């Protein structure tokens, strides 16, 4: 249901029309929403061996959602360059990654690459 709302309402209202571009700006978000919606539909009807609620898994998912909400607010308040490294590090630690090389690449290298792509190459400002 959320994928349908995203494709029909949210994405068209929040993307600009591209003039003279090969791929329209709404193409990638629309494709991602469709794939996520189809994946959710498959997961809904897929038989699972166990329906019991696991407290540990529920707590990790709740913490992950809380982390995403807090980081979205932080990016709006303090900006991408300061908030993204902490988000990357937090998500990787929550996922169980403990190797310092991967933690440093994920929390410093990826935000730097994203910043270079959008700010420098594409000229699109990040918050």
Give the tens place of pLDDT for each residue, 97-119: 999 999 999 999 999 999 999 88
Burial class (CB in 10 A: 0-12, 13-18, 19+), 33: buried
Q: What is the pLDDT of residue 52?
A: 67
Among 30-34, 94-98, 120-124, name the one with the lowest average pLDDT: 120-124
pLDDT, tens digit (0-9, with 9 covering 90-100), for 13-71: 888 777 776 777 888 888 999 999 999 888 878 766 666 677 888 888 899 889 988 98
84: number of Cβ within 10 Å: 21
Listed in order, strand segments (DSSP E) in the chain are: none
Q: What is the pLDDT of residue 113?
A: 93
Q: What is the pLDDT of residue 95?
A: 87
26: number of Cβ within 10 Å: 17
Q: What is the pLDDT of residue 38?
A: 92
Q: What is the pLDDT of residue 23?
A: 75
Task: Give the Cα separation of 107 and 91 in Å (integer).
Answer: 9
What is the average per-residue pLDDT within 79-91? 91
């Amino acid at each position: 249901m959320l994928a349908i709302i995203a494709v029909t309402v949210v994405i068209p209202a929040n993307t600009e029309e591209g003039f003279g571009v090969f791929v329209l700006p709404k193409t990638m978000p629309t494709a991602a929403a469709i794939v996520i919606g189809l994946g959710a539909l498959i997961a809904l009807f897929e038989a699972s061996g166990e329906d019991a609620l696991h407290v540990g898994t529920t707590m990790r998912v709740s913490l992950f959602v809380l982390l995403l909400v807090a980081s979205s607010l932080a990016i709006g308040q303090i900006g991408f360059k300061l908030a993204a490294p902490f988000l990357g590090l937090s998500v990787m630690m929550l996922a169980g990654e403990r190797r310092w090389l991967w933690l440093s690449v994920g929390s410093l290298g990826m935000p730097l690459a994203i910043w270079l792509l959008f700010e420098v190459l594409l000229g699109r400002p990040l918050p």
